[in-house]
Each structure stands twice: as structure tokens, then as C-alpha cells.
Structure 1
Amino acid sequence: MTWSSYGSYLIFVILVVLAPGPDTVVTLKNSFAGGFRGGLLAAAGIAVGNIVQGTAVALGLGTLIVQSQPVFHTLRWLGVAYLCYLGVQAIRMAWRGDYSGLAEAGNRSSAFRRFREGFFSNITNPKVLALYLSVLPQFLDPVHAGPFEALLLAYTVAVLGSLWLFVLLLFVNRVRAWLSRRKVRRALDSVSGATLIGFGAVLAAEG
């Protein structure tokens, strides 16, 4: 792999990372509820999920998962169910409109839950796995490329994705006073919940 091909790969990854998806919505959802730290924990879970899926593809395990239809479809339906679950949670919060307990958002159980939401929303999304499988071979020399080059490309996605989510969190943190208003929070929770359910529906329809 040359620096020129890696530069082309970087441009492609940046475009993919900037496109809104479940990872973005889950991070923002946790940021609205748990502040900068809550969003950061969700983003950390997403980064770990990306690293796991990228490593699986780089080492050849991703192909086995995709080729095994029962495993792939089970993963897909788990992703559908989890995105819909998160969406329903957000809509229920908007419906209730009770944000009095937000001061407790930094406790240990809440911190683990936010990390878990990020991790599971990513790891149960087979579209991430399919993206790695379809893109990485186009930038790797089938004769000379080894696991190191494949891992470099895979981890580039995780790093750039994390940087983008971090920038979003900085912006949300700057306007936190406005976002903390009850009407605004209810609207944001409603939109994020409906969006997550929508992503789940799209994932279900792609089977």
C-alpha cells in the first residue's frame, strides 16, 4: 500500500464518517442525557466496537461471519432490536418529560450503561462489518498486503470516527445551557428516538 492509496482511503473514510448514522445519534442521545462525559463514554463504546469489527475483518473472521447466513442474520436482527429499544427509550423519556434525575447521570452504573449503548449499537450493526469487507480489499494489494496494512486501514476508521464524535460533543457542550431547556430536551429526545427506530427499520428492510 502506497501513501497515495492511503490518502485516497482517508478521503473516503472522512466522507463515510461525516455521514449521519446510528453511531452519531447514539452519541448525541447520551450527550443530551449525560453531558459531555456521557457522550464521551458512548463514543468510547462505539470506538471499541469499531476496533473489534475492524480487527475481525483484517484477520479474516469478518468473511466467515458474513458467509454464515444464520450468524449474519442473527446479528442483523439483534441490531434492529437494539436500535429500536434505544429509540423507544428516548421517546418514553420525551413523553414523560421528567429530567429531574439528570444530576445523577455520572454514577458508575450510568457510566457503564452509556458505554454499553455505544458498544452494542455498533457491534450489532452488520453494515459496519460489510463496509470493512467491501472497502478494505480495494485499497490492499492482494499479493503483498499483510495483516498490518489491513489493521491500519481498519483502525483508521475507528480513529477518525472517534475524532468526529469528539468534535460533535464539543459543540453540544458549548450549547448545553440551551439544550438543557425542558422543551428542547423533549424535542431532541423525540427526534433521536424516532431516528434510531428509523435506522432499525432500514436495517430490517435490507435483509
Structure 2
Amino acid sequence: MTWQTYGSFALFALVVTLVPGPDFAVVVRNAVSGGRRRGLASTAGVICSSAIQGTAVALGLGAVIVASEPLFVTIKWAGVAYLLFLAVQALRSAMRATDVHAPLAGTAGGGRAVIRGLRQGFISNITNPKVLAFYLAVLPQFLAAGGQSPWQAVPLALTHAAISALYLALVVVAVHRARWVLSRQRVRRWMDGLTGAAMLGFGVRLAAEGP
């Protein structure tokens, strides 16, 4: 693999990362409701899961999971259920004033809030079969045909995870800097409603896709 090939993959990964998806919605939701620490914890959960899935695909385990239709379908529906669960939580918060009075702050939330953000980010990503499908479709295209060690795909997978980490961290920082606006009750409720609707849409779209 040449530096030119690596640069092409990094550029492609950046473009893909900039397209909002379930991970983006989950991280924004956590940053809005729990502050910077919880948003960054959610980002860490997403990245850990993405790195695990990318490495699994590079080593051939991802193809085994996708080839096993019952397992793949189970992961898919687990992802659908979790996205809908998070969507309902967000929409309930949007309809209730009790969850939007607390001000948004960089240090908001203790250890339990951080763990909750980490857990939500990890589960939302690990139960998304489209992540495995993405790595299976993309990684081989950036490796020379023939005689390639599976480990040569690992740096590509980790590069995508690193790009995603940087992007999502910048999103969390942007949300934190806008806390003087987001701490307003009406704005917080609108944000909860929007992120809840987005996660609901992602869940429904995932459910509608085959297999």
C-alpha cells in the first residue's frame, strides 16, 4: 500500500464521516443533554466500536458475521430496537419540561453520566450492521490484489476510526461552545425533538433495509 493509496482512503473516509448518521445523532443528543464530558464519552464509545468492527473485518471475522444471516439479522434488529429506544427517550424529554431545566455545562454529569454516554455510543455503533458492510465493501478496494496480509487493512480501519473521533469531538466542542443558547428551555426541547426524530428515522430506515 502506497502513501497515495492511503491518502485516497483517508479522503474517502473523511467524506463518508461527514455524512450524518446514527452515531452523529447519538453524540449530539448526549452532548446536549449531558454536556461536554458525556458527549466525549459517547464519542469514545462510537470510536471503540468502530475500531473493533474495522479490525474484525480486516482479519476476516466481519465476512463470517455477514455470511451468517441469522447473526447478521439479529445484530440489525438489535440496532433498530436500540435506536428506537433512544428516539423515544429523546422525544419524551422534548415533551417534558423537567429534563430541560438543567444548564448545559462542560463538566455536567458525574461518572454515571459518562458511563451512560460511553455505553450509548458503543451500542449504537456495534449494533449497526452497515458499519461492517461499509468496511467489507471499502477496505479491499484500497489494497493491492494478491498476497496481502489481513493486517495491512487494520491501519485503514483505524484511520477511519481516528477521523471519526476527530470529527465527533469537534461536534461536541461546537455544542459546548453554543451552551449559552442550548441551555434555554425551548432550544433544548427543540434539540431533543430533532435528535429524537433523526434517530427514529435512522431506525425505521435500517428496519426497512434487507435482509
TM category (shorter chain) comes to over 0.9
Q: Secondary structure at the match of 2:14?
A: helix
What is the distance in 1 between the residues matched to 2:113 and 2:103? Answer: 10
Match of 1:136 among 124, 134, 139: 139
- The answer for the alignment partner of 2:204 in structure 1 is 201
Q: Given that residues 105 and 111 in structure 1 are in contact (C-alpha distance below 8 angstroms), is that contact kept between their aligned partners in structure 2?
A: no
Match of 1:165 among 165, 168, 174: 168
- The answer for the alignment partner of 2:47 in structure 1 is 47
Q: Given that residues 17 and 164 in structure 2 are in contact (C-alpha distance below 8 angstroms), is that contact kept between their aligned partners in structure 1?
A: yes
Query: Identity across aligned pairs (percent)?
Result: 50
Q: Given that residues 57 and 63 in structure 1 are in contact (C-alpha distance below 8 angstroms), is that contact kept between their aligned partners in structure 2?
A: yes
User: For each residue in 1:79-113, what CA deviation from the matched residue of structure 2 results, as whole angstroms up to 9, or x when unmatched?
Assistant: 00000100000000111121345689522222111
Amino acid paired to 2:91: I
How many positions carry a matched residue from both structures?
207
What is the distance in 2 between the residues matched to 1:39 and 1:141? Answer: 38
What is the distance in 2 between the residues matched to 1:35 and 1:178? Answer: 13
Match of 1:180 among 180, 183, 195: 183
TM-score (normalised: structure 2): 0.94
TM-score (normalised: structure 1): 0.96
Q: Which runs of 4+ in 1 moved over 2 A?
A: 99-105
Indicate the RMSD between aligned Cα atoms, in angstroms: 1.4
What is the distance in 1 between the residues matched to 2:15 and 2:120? Answer: 24
What is the distance in 2 between the residues matched to 1:31 and 1:92? Answer: 17
Structure 1: where are the runs of 5+ without partners?
Answer: none
Structure 2: where are the runs of 5+ without partners?
Answer: none
Of 62-71 and 2-11, more deviation after overlay is shown by 2-11
Of 5-14 and 24-33, more deviation after overlay is shown by 5-14
User: For each residue in 1:153-180, what CA deviation from the matched residue of structure 2 results, as whole angstroms up to 9, or x when unmatched?
Assistant: 1101100000001111111111111011
